[in-house]
Amino acid sequence: MDFLTFMSVFLLLISTSCYGLSENHHGDEEGGLLVVAPAKQQKEFDYFLLALLWPGTLCQGTNHCCSANACCRSNATSMFTIHGLWVNYNDGTWPACCNNGSNFDIKKITPLLGGLQIYWPSLSCNLESTCDGGKGLFWAHEWEKHGTCATPVIWDEYTYFLTTLNIYFKYNITKILIEEGYIPSNSEKYPLGGIVSAIQNAVRATPLLVCSDGAVQELRLCFCKNFEPQDCPNNVTPEEACPRYVSLPEYVPRITGIN
Ligand code: 5GP
C-alpha cells in the first residue's frame, strides 16, 4: 500500500470511529469475551446502547396488575420508556454484572425517583434477577447487570440513572416519530424504512428496532463513549427482526385487578 492510500484509509478510520475517552483495555485481552465475569477480568466496553421499550406492544401480554406495573396505569400515554443503558463490545457480545460489591441502593437515587417512575417504569409485576442471584426492582437489575460495566465512563449508580435520563430526554424518539406522522395506532402499519429514516435524520445515526408479531417492541440507539450517536450494528435475531411494515400499537391500560 503506498503512503497516500495508507493515509486515506487511516483518515477514513479516524473519521468514522468514535473519539473521546481513552480506549485503554485492561484485564483479559485473550479475546475470551465474557458475558459475565468478575470486574478484574473485564475488558473495557466499546459503546453504549440505550434500549427503549414500547409499552403499547409489551403491555399486550399483561395478565395481572399491581401498583408497580406501568402497564396498569390508567393515565399513561403512548411513549417509549427506558429499558436500560447497556454497554457492548463491537463484536456483538457484552459484559454483564461487573461488580458484585456494587449492589443497587435506592437511597442513592432518591432525587431521580419521580422521573424514573414515569420514564423508566417496570412493565411487569415480577421482581427481576439481580447479579448475586437474588430478586430486585427493574432498576436494580439494570444497574447491577449493565451499569456496573460502564466504567471508566460511569462509575456510580446515581450517574448511571441520571445519564440515562439525560440521553433519553435529549433524543426524544416518541416526539421525533409523532412529528413525522408515525402516530401510535391500533389499525395503521408503517414502513420500517420510514421510521428508521425519521430517526436517522433527527439523531444522525441508525437505530435498531426489535419487533414482536410485527409490532415495535424495542428501539435501540447507540452512542460512542462520549455520548455522540453512532450507528447501531444490525445484530437482532431473526425472531426479533421487524418486517417491512410495522405497527406501533396504542397503549391500552390492562386493568385486570391489582394484586
Ligand atoms: P435486560 O436483562 O437488561 O432486561 O435485557 C437484556 C436482554 O437483552 C438480555 O436478554 C440480552 O441477552 C439481550 N440483548 C440483546 N441485544 C443486546 C445488546 O446489544 N446488549 C446487551 N447488553 N444485551 C442485549
Is the model more confident about 133 or about 176? 176
Which residues have a catalytic role annotated? 83, 142, 146
Ligand 1 atom nearest 240 alpha carbon: 15
Q: 160-196: per-residue pLDDT in tens? A: 999 999 999 999 999 999 999 999 999 999 999 999 9
Q: Is 84 in the pocket of ligand 1 (CB under 6 A)?
A: yes
Residue 255 lies in a domain: no
CA of 83 to the centre of ligand 1 (A): 10
Per-residue pLDDT for 8 more than 50?
no
For a ligand 1 pocket test, name from 33, 81, 83, 86 the mutation site with the most ligand atoms within 8 angstroms of its C-beta. 86
CA-to-CA distance for 135 and 5, rounded, in angstroms? Answer: 55
> DSSP labels for the chain?
--HHHHHHHHHHHHHHS--SS-----S--SS---SS--GGGPPPP-EEEEEEE-HHHHGGG--SB-TTBGGG-SS--S--EEEEEEEE-TTS-------TT----GGGGGGGHHHHHHHS-BSSSSPEE-TTS-EE-HHHHHHHHTGGG-TTT--SHHHHHHHHHHHHHHS-HHHHHHHTT----SS--EEHHHHHHHHHHHHSS--EEEEETTEEEEEEEEE-TTS-EEPPP----TTT---SEEB-PPP----S-B-
The whole-angstrom separation of Cα 50 and Cα 221 is: 5
Q: How far is the CA of 126 from the centre of ligand 1 (A)?
A: 18
Ligand 1, atom nearest to 94 Cα = 22
10 CA from centroid of ligand 1 (Å)? 33
Report yes or no on 38 lying in a domain: yes
pLDDT above 60 (res 224): yes
139 lines ligand 1 (CB under 6 A): no
Best residue among 94, 98, 143, 219 to mutate for probing ligand 1, ranked by most atoms within 8 Å of CB: 94
| Cβ 207 under 6 angstroms from ligand 1 | no
75 belongs to a structural domain: yes
Confidence grade of residue 152 (pLDDT, cut at 50, 70, 90): very high
Q: Is the dihedral of CA 153, 168, 253, 182 positive or negative?
A: negative
Q: What is the CATH number of the domain that holds 118?
A: 3.90.730.10
What pTM value is reported for the model?
Answer: 0.86
Q: Is residue 198 part of a domain?
A: yes
Ligand 1 centre distance from Cα of residue 34 (Å): 14
Residue 188 lies in a domain: yes
- What is the pLDDT at residue 32? 29
Mean pLDDT (whole number) for 62-85: 89
Work out how many domains the chain is built from and give that number: 1
Cα–ligand 1 centroid distance for 221 (angstroms):
13
Strands 128-129 and 135-136 turn out to be: antiparallel
Please check whether residue 205 lies inside any domain of the structure: yes
pLDDT in tens, 107-123: 999 999 999 999 999 99
pLDDT of residue 19: 53
Q: Is residue 8 part of a domain?
A: yes
Give the integer Cα–Cα distance in Å for 20 and 17.
Answer: 10
Ligand 1 pocket check for 94: Cβ under 6 Å = yes
Domain extent at residue 50: 3-246
Strand partners, 190: 246
**257 assigned to some structural domain:** no
Q: What pLDDT, on a 0 to 100 scale, did the predictor assign at position 41?
A: 62
pLDDT computed for residue 256 by the predictor: 54
